[in-house]
A and B are shown apart, each in its own frame.
Chain A
Amino acid sequence: MNEKRHLGLKASARISNTLIYILLVIMSVVWLIPFICIVLQSFRVESTYPVGYVIPQKWGLDNYIALWNSDFKRWYLNTFIVALVTAALQTVFVLCMSYTLSRFRFKLRQGLMRLMLVLGLFPGMLTMIILYRVLKDLGLTQANAVPGLILVYVASSAMGYYVSKGFFDTIPKSLDEAARVDGATRAQVLWKIILPLAKPIVIYTILTAFMGPWGDFVFARYVSFGTSSGMNVAVGMYSWLSLDQIGSRYTMFCAGGVIVAVPVTLLFLFLQKYYVEGVTGGAVKG
């Protein structure tokens, strides 16, 4: 304490700031290393199995060319379609649910919210067995996994209404009432007044809905079970790391990781502002 006073406020602030800079640099390095490694290893040509060094001895695009000649294209297309359609439909579902719960006061509202809370406490994994069997009966598995996945992702998505309901709650109700007085129907209020104001949350919902399918592994694996043409990137690339394939596919996995991560990451960073708004709003509301 004495020493601090001796140094003066400015000097002690400088010391603590330097410490923070050091910490932040260390953290950044830790955060970036895996991603740098994966990029570097995707250019490694001399071998295809995991090795104990990072910088390739021979550089080349072999892994990317191998990707192009593998089923990866199909997986990527599958995932992209699922992500795109899911993003569109899920946004509609979530917004319908959250707007209704925020603005309407009907008899079963409280019960509905409680029911969804309780349903959310069940481990989702539990329902996969039956959903898989149902999709199989409908012929929406394996080679036809794409529509099946979309159906399952979208159908229950309205249960994740919390964040956007929190947002709608912050839009003053007097706006609705003013428009209603002027003769607008409820539907017009939603279309013409609320939705334009809700742009941040719409973008947030689209963004999270779009990113979800890229990482889904468990259910996609059930649904595509063993059929390469129905897999998404996560399932397909996971199989490359199995014991019998890792020797020949490890660097391809790295290359595929780069191809998958780059567009999603760019999109995310581009829309980061909206994501932050959604996440912070959601946590404060609980």
Chain B
Amino acid sequence: MKRYSDLEYLRLSKWHKFLYRLTSFFCAIPQALVNLLKSIGGFFQKIFVGIGTELSDLVLTFKNGDWKTRTSYLVMGFGSIARGQVLRGLLFLLFEAVFIFYMIFSGGYWLSMLPSLGKQGPAKEYDPVYDAYVTHYHDNSFKILLYGVLTIFFIIAFIYTWRMNVKQNKISEEILKSGKKLKSGKDDLRSLVDDQFHKTLLALPLSGILIFTVMPIVFMILVAFTNYDGTHDGFANSLFSWQGLKNFNTMLSWSGSGVNYSATFGEILTWTLIWAFFATFTNYFLGMFTAMMINKKGIKLKKLWRTILVLTIAIPQFISLLYVSKMFAKNGIVNGLLLKLGWISQAIDFWGSTAHSGLLARVMVIVINIWIGIPYLMLIATGILMNIPADLYESSRIDGASGWKQFTKITLPYMLFITGPYLLTSFTSNMNNFNVIFLLTGGAPTNSAASGAAGSVGFTDLLITWLFKITMGAESQYYLASVIGILVFVVVALITLVVYNLLPSIKNEEDFQ
């Protein structure tokens, strides 16, 4: 496509401008994808180069180092202790001892079982004590996978620490060679609240994230390649085992027989995207208008209006959403009122009507979500609108601009520029907006066409609520839930990456400081 210079662009008609921007948006997508691939390639390249330099450094350190350094390759922390840094050395040594102890008594077993996820499942065996056949439990696939992953984490941590230990020796040697003194244990402790304070600060939060987020995510990604479900629970019923890409195949392709998961997945994904789009933009624009109304000059009681609106933020969603969902039930207040007024002769089934793929329920959740979402946007927009220089409006008024023109030429561009990243994150978090859907409809009305798929799929189900239903269902197909989770991640990550690269307001973060 042809690129216009700024001046040429300004001369275009409105329609052409729009067209130009639209095409340039889509033309930028391939470039963004290429950049993504490049950065992934660059990442791996960096890793390989990094490993290469580390290895060569290891060899060099060994060749050039003294005997203390060389012993440290085997006995971690030896060099440090020998050079008088007892505290550091002991910590290294302790870590090594714990590691070896763990690997011999426990880690080795988990690691060796990891490829098979357990060899012997529960079985009826003759027990001489009871003189009867009793079920004996043996391997536990779940624990094998869990502790296997943990062991791998531990090994990586060990290699890293070992590497640090070698590096430590090299640095110490150099310091001693240059005639300076090494840090004492006291200095080390002091540096933990000073130069190295960030390590102290990050220790707890990071280990929390590692154990309670990273490890579970790695585990669940692995589960997508197994047949872990209610029947194959890994211990009491039967073991589970590796299945390769079978589950992804089940979810994404349809062989013509059995349940058509790919169609269900496609249907739910489409609705998830539609929902996220409407939920984000209805809230965005209506919230902005509300903020502009409240902030308009001459409007009194600003604080009162704001306080009334933020009630939906303050009151826990499970109360407000569950209550609203019951208000619109067949025997709820809304139907009661409409019947009394004589506007309808029969109660409207807001949540149960399956006409037009549950259109009524779908519209209802979007509308009720506005009720929940406007206040946030009102608060955000208020803050931003106040920052728009007032003289912009003043001078435009002198030039004869109408209120609408001021909005489209000043307010909207400013808002969009500032809140670009926010729009993106709110789109992705709406894709995963479990609360609104689950508390309002629970996924209803039931989508009978998808009844074969795991979990009772409904027309308002998002991928995330479907995932939840699958894990809570009778068959608990955890592997399918994992597959859905991974696919959600892929979709969300793609959207984020592409849009993020196109946003104008992504600046170098240091610019702010």
Contact = CB atoms under 8 A, between A and B. Distances in A.
B313 A286 contact: no
A257 to B, nearest CB: 4
Contacts of A13: 298
Contacts of A280: 379-380, 382-384
B197 interface: yes
Interface stretch (B4-12, B16-24, B316-324, B448-456): B316-324
A275 B316 CA distance: 15
A197 to B, nearest CB: 15
Nearest to B205: A158
Interface string B317-358: 111101110110101110111011000000000000000000
B288 interface: no
Contacts of B331: 50-52
Interface stretch (B61-69, B388-396, B414-422): B414-422
B157 interface: no
Interface string B195-216: 1011011101110110111101
B209 to A, nearest CB: 5
Given A126-B485, A186-B197, A286-B421, A31 B214 contact: no
Contact of A119 (B217, B223, B313): B217
Nearest to B490: A121
Contacts of A31: 308-309, 311-312, 371
A60 to B, nearest CB: 20
Contact of B318 (A21, A37, A215): A215
Contacts of B323: 34, 37-38, 253-254, 257
A122 B217 contact: yes
Interface string A105-118: 01000001000101
Contacts of B379: 275-276, 279-280
Contact of B298 (A17, A106, A254, A275): A17
Contacts of B206: 112, 158
A134 interface: yes
Q: How large is the interface on B (under 10, 10 to 19, 20 to 34, 35 or more residues)?
A: 35 or more
Nearest to A151: B212
A18 B195 CA distance: 61
A109 B303 CA distance: 41
B380 A283 contact: yes
A181 interface: no
Contacts of A97: 201-202, 205
Interface string A71-105: 00000000000000000000001101101100010
A230 to B, nearest CB: 17
B106 to A, nearest CB: 15
Q: How large is the interface on A (under 10, 10 to 19, 20 to 34, 35 or more residues)?
A: 35 or more
A264 interface: yes
Interface stretch (B88-96, B162-170, B238-246, B432-440): B432-440
Interface string B419-430: 111100100100
B413 to A, nearest CB: 15
A93 B320 CA distance: 30
B496 interface: yes
B208 A155 contact: yes
A261 B194 contact: no
B159 to A, nearest CB: 16
A66 interface: no
B315 interface: yes
A131 B212 contact: yes
Contact of A234 (B146, B316, B489): B316
A134 B205 CA distance: 19
Given A52-B336, A186-B193, A264-B314, A285 B512 contact: yes
B485 A21 contact: no
Contacts of A281: 383
A286 B422 CA distance: 5
Given A125-B485, A185-B193, A283 B435 contact: no
Interface string A205-223: 0000001001101100000
B314 A125 contact: no
A154 interface: yes
Contacts of B309: 27-28, 31
Interface of B: 142, 146, 190, 193-195, 197-198, 200-202, 204-206, 208-209, 211-214, 216-217, 219-220, 223, 290, 293-294, 296, 298-299, 305, 307-320, 322-324, 326-327, 329, 331-333, 335-337, 339-340, 371, 376, 379-380, 382-384, 418-422, 425, 428, 432, 434-435, 438-439, 463-464, 467-468, 471, 478, 481-482, 485, 488-489, 492-493, 496, 505-506, 509, 512-513
11 contacts: A16-B296, A31-B371, A50-B331, A52-B337, A93-B205, A104-B197, A129-B223, A173-B513, A257-B323, A269-B314, A283-B384
